[in-house]
Structure 1
Amino acid sequence: MRIFDPHIHMTSRTTDDYEAMRAAGVRALVEPSFWLGQPRTSPESFFDYFDSLLGWEPFRAAQYGIAHHCTLALNPKEANDPRCTPVLDELPRYLIKDSVVAVGEIGYDSMTPAEDHALAAQLQLAAEHELPALVHTPHRDKAAGLKRTIDVVRESNLPPEYVALDHLNETTVRDAADSGCWLGFSIYPDTKMDPPRMVKILQAHGTGRMLVNSAADWGRSDPLKTREVGDAMLAAGFTEDDVDQVLWRNPVAFYGQSGRLDLDSVAAEDTPATHEGNSILRGGE
């Protein structure tokens, strides 16, 4: 089983996670920029973070034979902080980087006017750079947030097939599917979706345009949930080809629209031992 996790925050994970993911079948991932758990106080802190997603994390992933790409954006939560909004002016210089395969995470947290502006502005940036957009749907009042999101997408210059609506569930899947966008589902240990519920959605709505991710981050989460979904699909009677479509070919098709997806086999033994003089190893001389 080959797995492409289309949404996972490896900055928050350990090298043990990379090793376990490789053993479970993960061969590629996309890491969206997101909120780090406490407020940033300046745009410069974003830029250091973006640089790490373009350099250090691909290096770490390569040590385990995993292809790493990223999406960059001003996230919805921090779009409300005037100290952070200058990031919007600097994003274009990052969106031209080869390993940036989408603009994201963008979307809504509390559905404020500031979030309206940031979402519309970044959808426009995605259109200008011919990149897909990864859109975070809010955890609170999800149905209303999805409707508002779809309205903004329709008003933008970005075609719906270039948009993934993430963190969906049973209450939002139908409206999301009707929008023409891609459908993202985050599989968590306690919240959002779990593997049995995901299988039921796939049984009801099919495997087309479906993106299944772990969204693993610094909270209670599990980077192997994508593998659990694949196993649950097989146990429920889906074919290996169905599993491959959901866990590999669908994310390849979505992010491949960027023209930047590089999934050539990453051989750990062929990767540099250090990145800017730093290694993932500890100890020794």
Structure 2
Amino acid sequence: MLDNSQPALSTQMWIDPHIHMTARTTYDYLVMKQYGVVAVIEPSFWMGQPRTSAGTFQDYFSSLVGWERFRAGQFGIRHYSTISLNPKEANNPAIADEVIDLLPLYLCKEGVVAIGEIGYDSMTDAEDKYFRLQLEMAKEFDKLVLIHTPHRNKKEGTLQSLEVCLEHGIDPQRVIVDHANEETVQDILDRGFWAAFSIYPHTKMGNERMTEIVRQYGCEKIIVDSAADWGISDPLAVPKTAQLMRERGIPEARVRAVCYGNALAAYSQSGEMSEADWLTPEPVDQRQFYADNSVLRGQEPIVEGAGSIVIV
């Protein structure tokens, strides 16, 4: 079960390398920043109902590289994204090819760190086809790969995902395999891939289980994220898990690695993400607009000055 307590306000820095902020409110950015989250990565994903045209994907991708980066920055958080046709929507033959044709327009955008989430949902032929197409695209555009492992047939789907990546000549060092669990972690690590764990109540991985995984397997190539989306999920899952690990006696170096350092090491390979992005940021100025829109709804804007924050 996910711990519902609030973590202590932290001077530590955390990265949430898989969170669907499109489904979250601006208040979530505010609270995440207070609890030490300095950077997020938002993978493109299924929004809950089938899209009806490729144009809806284009608008969605544009929001990931545009509005969401602006919205996060207005609260001092760096926002990155991954772009893809996700496995579930690969089963929509009416628009899948058109979406594939759109991807090159976005894979070269600033802040796009990988192609993903790709992989399997229901292990269909269509999912396999578009998984392989996008792996080849990752090679063509020199992009990292973020793998979605299925919620059903987890071990079978994970093993097949790893095998397909290797078959296509993808370097495991450049592949992050998400939604890992106790049944798949050893297979992922043994083959040299990054193993990411979504701290998501009821259906994926609770933070108590995550603590025991780090106790058993250490911190090498293990990454913690929230995958927070429109479901029952928690945008503070990373700092909460870090806090629980500390309380349960996990060494500080391991906590920092799985909740910060490993995500930075993995995704900085993209050339789009650097620690300097949040260590030497531009000052927050909430008087700014993006496409004539502001993050504010009548609130007083926060404007960071030299060493201070000013409410104007």
TM over 0.5: yes
Kindly provide the amino acid, as one letter, of the partner of residue 2 in structure 1.
Answer: M
Aligned residues: 284
- How many Å apart are 1:217 and its aligned residue? 0.2
| Aligned mates of 1:67, 1:148 — CA distance in 2 | 33
Render the CA deviation track for 1:84-120: whole Å, top value 9, x for unaligned. Answer: 2121122112111121000001010111111001111
Kindly indicate whether residue 294 of structure 2 is the aligned counterpart of residue 279 of structure 1. yes
Identify which range, 189-198 or 20-29, moves more after superposition.
189-198
Q: Find out whether 1:98 has 2:104 as its counterpart.
A: no
Q: CA 1:168–1:185 in structure 2 vs 1: closer, same or farther (change >3 Å)?
A: same
| Alpha-carbon distance in 2 for matches of 1:109, 1:272 | 42
Indicate yes or no: 2:130 matched with 1:115: no
Q: Contact 1:64–1:268 at 8 Å: present in 2 too? A: no
**What is the aligned partner in structure 2 of residue 38 from structure 1?**
49
Q: Which among 84, 89, 92 is matched to residue 78 of structure 1? A: 89
Amino acid at match of 1:143: K
Deviates more, 1:37-46 or 1:264-273: 264-273
1:51 alignment partner, SS class: helix
Give the secondary-structure state (helix, strand or coil) at the position aligned to 1:269: coil
Contact 1:67 1:262 in 2 (8 A): no
Indicate whether 1:165 and 2:177 are aligned: yes
Identity of aligned residues (%): 50
Give the secondary structure class of the aligned counterpart of 2:228. Answer: coil
The alignment status of 1:155 with 2:167, answered yes or no, reads yes
Which deviates further from its counterpart, 84-93 or 117-126?
A: 84-93
1:231-265 deviation per Cα after TM superposition (whole angstroms, max 9, x unaligned): 11111222332222111111111111111114423
Who is 1:196 aligned against? 208
Alignment RMSD, CA only?
1.3
Q: Residue 59 in 1 paired to residue 74 in 2?
A: no
Q: For 1:272 and 1:181, how far apart are their aligned partners in 2?
A: 43
Higher relative contact order (CA 8 A, sep 6+): 1
The TM-score normalised by the length of structure 2 is 0.88
Cα deviation for residue 271 of structure 1 reads: 6.1
Tell me, in whole angstroms, the C-alpha distance in 2 between the residues paired with 1:113 and 1:190. 29
By how many angstroms is 1:268 displaced?
A: 5.1
What does residue range 209-248 of structure 1 map to in structure 2 within 5 Å? Answer: 209-248=221-260
Quote the Cα distance in structure 1 between the aligned partners of 2:274 and 2:56. 28
Structure 2 unaligned segments of length 5 or more: list them: 1-11, 300-312
Q: Kindly name which structure, 1 or 2, has the bigger radius of gyration based on alpha carbons.
A: 2
SS at match of 1:278: coil
Q: CA deviation at 1:272?
A: 5.8
| Counterpart-to-counterpart distance in 1, 2:73 and 2:211 | 31
